Amino acid sequence: MRNRSLLKNFAILISVSLLFLFYLERKSLAKKEEETITVWAMGAEGMKIAQMARKFEQANPGIRVITQAIPWEAAHEKLITSVVGGIPPDVSQLGTTWMAEFQAMGALVPLNEFISRSEVINQDKFFLSSWETNLINGRVYGIPWYVDTRVIFYRKDLLKEAGFDHPPRTWEELERIGKALVKDRDGDGKIDQYGMALPVKDWNILSMFIWENGGNILTPDNSKSDVESEATREAFEFYHRLFQENIVPTAEAVDVDLFHAFRTGFYPIFISGPWMIELVRNELGKEYEGRWDVAMMPKKRFPTSFVGGCNLVVFKGSKHKQAAWKFIEFMSQPEIQVEWYKIIADLPAVKSAWQDPFFNDKPMVRVFGEQLNYTKSPPNIPEWEQIADAMQRRMEELILDKMNLFQTLGTLTKDINEILEKKERIASKGKFFLSIGAILVFIWGLAFLWKRYHRKVKEIEVPEDGRISGVKRIISSLRKYHVPYLFIIPSLTILFVFLFLPVVVSFITSLTDWDIYGLANWKKISFVGFENYQTLLRDKIFWKSLFNTFYFVIVGVPFAISLALLMAIVLNEEFIRFKSFFRTSYFAPVVTTLVAVAVVWRWLYNPDYGLINWVLQTVGLPPQNWLGDTKLAMPSLIVMAAWKNFGYNMVIFLAGLQAIPDTLYDAAKVDGASYWQRFLYITLPGLRPTTFFVTVTTMIGFFQLFGEPYVMTKGGPLNSTISVVLHMYNQGFKFFRMGYASAIGYILFGIIVVFTILQIKLQKAAY
Amino acid sequence: MKRELNLAKILTLIRRIFIHLLLFLGLAITLAPFIWMISTSLKSSESVFTFPPQWIPKHPTIEQYQTLFREVNFLQFFKNSVIVAFGITLFSLFLNSLGGFAFAKHKFPGREKIFALLLATMMVPGQITMIPVFLMLKTVGLINSYWGLIIPAGASAFGIFLMRQFITTIPTDLIESARIDGCSEFRIYWTIILPLCKPVIAALGIFTFMGSWNAFLWPLIVMIKENMYTLPVALANLSGQHATKFGLLMAGAVVVVIPVLIVFIVAQRYVIKGVAVTGLKQ
């Protein structure tokens, strides 16, 4: 009877609280059950897409579209977190170069089936190269929304002056015209009209030249570098030659304003995208109307340009895939594509949209339409960003003559192949066994620590049935003592799952290459031994964060503690009235939300209107750019942290002060000891245990610095306030490099343990 | 002799003045940011940027609060924070007191060892558990839900420890006589132990509430969609998006801070005593 009512009470209590919470959660989700789709768009598109969404709703009653504008800077991060959290939008705009990455994450729905049933969408209606940006391993993962390509902008008048009545149509012409254009107009010995502008490091533009010659960066199966092939080598050579022959300048390129250079003729030719038409027209003004034009890229074998732009994709988490697809179909109609161009000047991805009479009087835009038939896109692999980065680095070295062509292509081949093979290179069998060994040693270490620790624990006497043993004994004791076990099981389970287990799992994770792809597919995770820790040693930002954290602790802890001690001593004076009022006021910052405090202090530190600079100015000191100066940012955080924390330690110090017996002071007074002597020989020694406690807890807290820099500086300026935990957060929850972030966490844990032990040793030595 | 006495008196007086100066300087420094926060939050977006600063707004307005609740959806964030903070507080008080009762008043094999192990978890820092717990919650689909915040915070070694310490002081005779009367163990817990534990439950409850109301890093990780943000996360997000709309940001800060300050002022005695006691224990 007793047991039944116990269980019954348990069941009722737990189920009621569960129901209550579920109710609250359901209630907030209930609204979403209608046919509503969420569409994310970025930057300028994000601002305008709502107009198209309203049109879509009119055409498709019953479907509601919620549009969300995501700034480009936050787009990648937002998309990734939403995918990892399993709550992505239904439809999103996705840059062509992001397709492979999100596909590898398993985030995108293959659209082949939808396409096969669609009347609006099929491959032939789109520009082939733009369509291909959606093609991964033979499946289609998105539909082109708008496209973007590059053409030549040139000064007609200057070319005519040099004797050419047409833009460069081939590489030979480009070189010839370029040479003819180079001039020193004012005769000061310095060239003030070059042949053209070309970037020193831009994989986009260089790739176009490679493709024009029929070359490639990777082999057709994307498994190896192909930059040493003849066609690609020729393209590198040609591109480099334009610099060598001084048709293109190297040094000035960075600091010249392009519009100014185009107007003055410093750069009579440059390569750019569709948005430039309007900009150049506005910047150069009427007077230059008709003196410049655009033209397709010059050809070697093909007049190839680069294709970019954005696709529309459906996410795997979507519950309204059909409605999402309808939205994409809607956006792919030629009329809608033209309309979208009118709103935002994004080039239509649908070929037939270009036949619209709207484009008849826009010859320059039509050149882009023409060019789109001869375009290519970079390989659709998640490693592309890294390869592009390597390409730009080597390209710069070649152009600045730090390496010759032969060396450049050799090292680039090595770079690219290494990037492509990295996965296999890291995950070797040896690493696997090393990792397993490390895990075993780790678990053994934990067990060893526990054994040493629990030997000191004396078990209470419990009457035991001596005759039975082993499993039977456990079962019988469970039966006999099931009440207390039932009472402790819920909390023990939580502590085990969320505290004990993670200590081990975190260590195991730190020995793997668990990243965003591993989150999507467990098979992509492999053991890499101590690779993460080795990478950490080479990670400059990690060292910086470590330095900053130590700075914060070593300067901040003594500062905060002495402040607390000072105020405790002041408050401990007998003659002070309203003690509890002061104590409560000083304590208020402690209980105040850190984020709110950080936001308020960001306002106090504001260089122009902040309170702190006002105080400085009223006492005649110069104002400072507190959070914007690399030297001042960290001290500013320290001051704020001390303000927030001193009340806590002050209360502990006060308790410590009151624990010092009055008789000691009385005796000292009788002996004629001065105030300072009493402070030095009674108060301070009496506070030693308190100081020790306060130092250790404050230090542990300060080592975990995160909220202040996250809210106030985001780790800047120039990483001067990035902390270890912030770095870990960025790696773990922005880039989802779980293995790497775990390694950072363990290192920090190690540092904290070492410092705590050091403190304990010091404390013991002092007695 | 008299002269010396006077000198001593003057010295004491100077010391007292000095100490009072420190006292009020400290008060000004602690309270100024709060006053400035409230003052700024009552200014219109244009009058925020005036120099020298106005302590009392010339034309006080609540337009920032209106924007906050109408356009930024702070009511939803407030609701989330309330659900999470109360959920954690109630859930953990229940589990911790139950556990504390078992450890204090029941005998069972392994009791001391389990308790010792429990205390060891107090040393595990947050940044170690962050990633594994995130991965676990993701696997069971609790990311972006209230449960993802409530369950991991449902028990704490410190809470169980505190409850056990307190319950140990309750006379065992009381429990024994209830047992003889045929009371179930759960009933004993519910009708005898809990009412007697009011002071410690109040203290622990207040600390848990303030801790979960103010928590930032973990809600930032777990709550991915904007409509699930708790107040601190929402405020940090607002501060990232509208870095210079200080009127709005201060209004947001006021909304975040006021509830916790009220709880603190009402229960300050418990809070300060609690802190002082943790310090003395060591």
- Cβ-defined contact of B184 to A2 (cutoff 8 Å): yes
Residues paired with A154 in a beta bridge: A269, A293
CATH number of B65-281: 1.10.3720.10
Q: Give the per-residue pLDDT at A765.
A: 75
A23, pLDDT greater than 80? no
Asked if residue A229 and residue A199 are part of one domain, the reply reads: yes
- How close A16 comes to chain B (CA, Å)? 12
Query: Among candidates B114, B109, B107, B113, which has minimal Cα distance to A473?
Result: B109
| Structure-model confidence comparison of residues A253 and B79, the more confident one | B79
Q: Quick one: tokens of A179? A: 């040479």
Give the residue-averaged pLDDT of B207-221: 93
Q: Give the per-residue pLDDT at B209.
A: 94
Give the residue-averaged pLDDT of B177-206: 90
Contact, A41 vs A93, CB < 8 A?
yes
CB-closest option in A21, A587, A725 to B272: A587
| Structure-model confidence comparison of residues A317 and A352, the more confident one | A352
Best of B131, B207, B216 to substitute, by most chain A Cβ atoms within 10 angstroms, is: B131
- Cβ-defined contact of A519 to B32 (cutoff 8 Å): no
Cα–Cα distance list, A470 to A298, A477, A566, A732 (Å): 85, 11, 60, 44
Phi and psi of A307, rounded to 5°?
Answer: -115, 130
Give the residue-averaged pLDDT of B243-260: 92
CA distance A385 to A389: 6
Give the residue-averaged pLDDT of A695-721: 91
Asked if residue A563 and residue A619 are part of one domain, the reply reads: yes
CA distance B203 to B212: 14
Whether omega for the bond prior to residue B52 falls within 30 degrees of 0, making it cis, is yes
Q: Give the per-residue pLDDT at A673.
A: 84
> Among residues of chain A, what percentage have pLDDT more than 70?
93
Contact, B278 vs B75, CB < 8 A?
no
Model confidence over B6-30: pLDDT tens digits? 887 888 888 889 899 999 999 999 9
CA distance A369 to A352: 11
Q: Quick one: tokens of B201? A: 């439950």
Query: Among candidates A352, A335, A312, which has minimal Cα distance to A125?
Result: A352
Q: Quick one: tokens of B143? A: 């990311």
Q: Kindly list the residues from chain B whose CB atom is less than 8 angstroms away from the CB atom of residue A21.
A: 83, 87, 146-147, 150
Asked if residue A157 and residue A288 are part of one domain, the reply reads: yes
Q: Give the per-residue pLDDT at A188.
A: 83
Residue A315 DSSP one-character state: B
A459, pLDDT greater than 80? no
Per-position DSSP letters for A586-615, written without gaps between them:
HHHHHHS-HHHHHHHHHHHT-TTT-HHHHH
Contact, A399 vs A240, CB < 8 A?
yes
Asked if residue A592 and residue A712 are part of one domain, the reply reads: yes
A253, pLDDT greater than 80? no
- Is residue A764 assigned to a domain? no
Model confidence over A206-235: pLDDT tens digits? 999 999 999 999 998 888 999 999 999 999
- How close B22 comes to chain A (CA, Å)? 8
A91, pLDDT greater than 90? yes
- How close A667 comes to chain B (CA, Å)? 19
CB-closest option in A498, A571, A733 to B133: A498
Average pLDDT, chain B: 89
Best of A81, A442, A578, A591 to substitute, by most chain B Cβ atoms within 10 angstroms, is: A591
CA distance B19 to A170: 86
Query: With bands split at pLDDT 50, 70 and 90, how would you rate the model's confidence at A18?
Result: low
Q: Quick one: tokens of A259? A: 């519009």
Among A729-738, B116-125, B229-238, the least confident range? B116-125
SS3 for A454-465 is: HCCCCCCCCCCC
Q: Quick one: tokens of A331? A: 């956006």
Asked if residue A646 and residue A590 are part of one domain, the reply reads: yes
b/e sequence A517-536, b meaning 16+ C-beta within 10 Å: bbbbeeebbbbbbbbbbeeb
| Structure-model confidence comparison of residues A86 and B169, the more confident one | B169
- Cβ-defined contact of B53 to A614 (cutoff 8 Å): yes
Asked if residue A369 and residue A256 are part of one domain, the reply reads: no
Q: Of A721, A739, A757, which residue constitutes the final position of a domain?
A: A721
CB-closest option in B53, B108, B250 to A484: B108
CA distance A626 to A606: 7
Contact, A152 vs A298, CB < 8 A?
yes
Query: With bands split at pLDDT 50, 70 and 90, how would you rate the model's confidence at A128?
Result: very high
Contact, A632 vs A624, CB < 8 A?
yes
| Tally of domains in chain A | 5
Q: How many CB pairs lie under 8 A apart between chains A and B?
A: 359
CATH number at residue A243: 3.40.190.10
Q: Give the per-residue pLDDT at A376.
A: 93
Phi and psi of A215, rounded to 5°?
Answer: -90, 175
Give the residue-averaged pLDDT of A167-172: 94
Model confidence over A364-374: pLDDT tens digits? 999 999 999 99
Q: Give the per-residue pLDDT at A301.
A: 94
Best of A482, A489, A498, A585 to substitute, by most chain B Cβ atoms within 10 angstroms, is: A498
- Is residue A461 assigned to a domain? no
Residue of B nearest to A575 (CA): B16
Q: Give the per-residue pLDDT at A310.
A: 94
Contact, A283 vs A276, CB < 8 A?
no
- How close B226 comes to chain A (CA, Å)? 11
Domain that holds residue A405: 151-305+381-422
- Is residue A640 assigned to a domain? yes
Residue of A nearest to B24 (CA): A582
ipTM strictly over 0.90? yes
Instruction: Write down the H helix ranges in B71-192.
Output: 74-105, 111-120, 126-139, 146-150, 157-168, 172-180, 185-187
- Cβ-defined contact of B138 to A86 (cutoff 8 Å): yes
Best of A15, A477, A494, A499 to substitute, by most chain B Cβ atoms within 10 angstroms, is: A499
Residue of B nearest to A576 (CA): B20
Q: Give the per-residue pLDDT at A12.
A: 67
Q: Give the per-residue pLDDT at B116.
A: 86
- Is residue A767 assigned to a domain? no
Among A482-486, B86-90, B204-208, the least confident range? A482-486
- How close B135 comes to chain A (CA, Å)? 9
Among A471-475, A498-502, B213-217, the least confident range? A471-475
Reduced to 3 states (helix: H, G, I; strand: E, B; else coil), residue B280 is helix
Interior CA angle at A229 toward A227 and A230, to 5°?
125
- How many Å separate Cα A266 from the centre of its chain? 39
Q: Give the per-residue pLDDT at B12.
A: 83
CA distance A56 to A54: 5
> Which H or E run includes A140?
strand A139-140
Q: Give the per-residue pLDDT at A90.
A: 94
**SS percent in chain B: helix, strand, coil, step 5:** 80, 0, 20
Question: What residues does each domain of chain B span?
Answer: 65-281
- Cβ-defined contact of B154 to A599 (cutoff 8 Å): no
Q: Quick one: tokens of A747? A: 């290192």
Cα–Cα distance list, A325 to A31, A97, A112, A764 (Å): 22, 22, 11, 70
Best of A8, A78, A487 to substitute, by most chain B Cβ atoms within 10 angstroms, is: A487
- Is residue A532 assigned to a domain? no
Q: Give the per-residue pLDDT at A13.
A: 62
Give the residue-averaged pLDDT of A627-648: 94
Asked if residue A226 and residue A285 are part of one domain, the reply reads: yes
Model confidence over B16-75: pLDDT tens digits? 898 999 999 999 999 999 999 999 999 988 888 887 888 888 888 999 999 999 888 899
Give the residue-averaged pLDDT of A475-479: 77
Q: Give the per-residue pLDDT at B273.
A: 84
Residue of A nearest to B240 (CA): A711
CB-closest option in B91, B111, B118 to A495: B118
Among A13-27, A184-198, A682-696, the least confident range? A13-27
Query: With bands split at pLDDT 50, 70 and 90, how would you rate the model's confidence at A15?
Result: low
CA distance A722 to A710: 8
Q: Kindly list the residues from chain A whose CB atom is less than 8 angstroms away from the CB atom of residue B86.
A: none
Asked if residue A165 and residue A138 are part of one domain, the reply reads: no
CB-closest option in A600, A606, A700 to B253: A600
Q: Quick one: tokens of A471? A: 């499993």
Average pLDDT, chain A: 88
Find residues 476-515 of chain A whose CB sits inside 8 Å of chain B.
477, 481, 483-485, 487-488, 490-492, 494-495, 497-503, 505-506, 509
- How close B79 comes to chain A (CA, Å)? 10
Model confidence over A321-340: pLDDT tens digits? 999 999 999 999 999 999 99
Model confidence over A517-565: pLDDT tens digits? 888 778 888 888 898 999 899 888 999 999 999 999 999 999 999 999 9
A256, pLDDT greater than 60? yes
Q: Give the per-residue pLDDT at A352.
A: 93
A647–chain B Cβ distance below 8 A for any pair: yes
Cα–Cα distance list, A710 to A631, A667, A742, B213, B253 (Å): 18, 52, 19, 18, 16
Give the residue-averaged pLDDT of A710-726: 90
Q: Give the per-residue pLDDT at B93.
A: 95
A2, pLDDT greater than 80? no
| Structure-model confidence comparison of residues A78 and A113, the more confident one | A113
**Residue B147 is which amino acid?**
W
- Cβ-defined contact of A732 to B131 (cutoff 8 Å): yes
- How close B3 comes to chain A (CA, Å)? 18
Contact, B230 vs B77, CB < 8 A?
yes
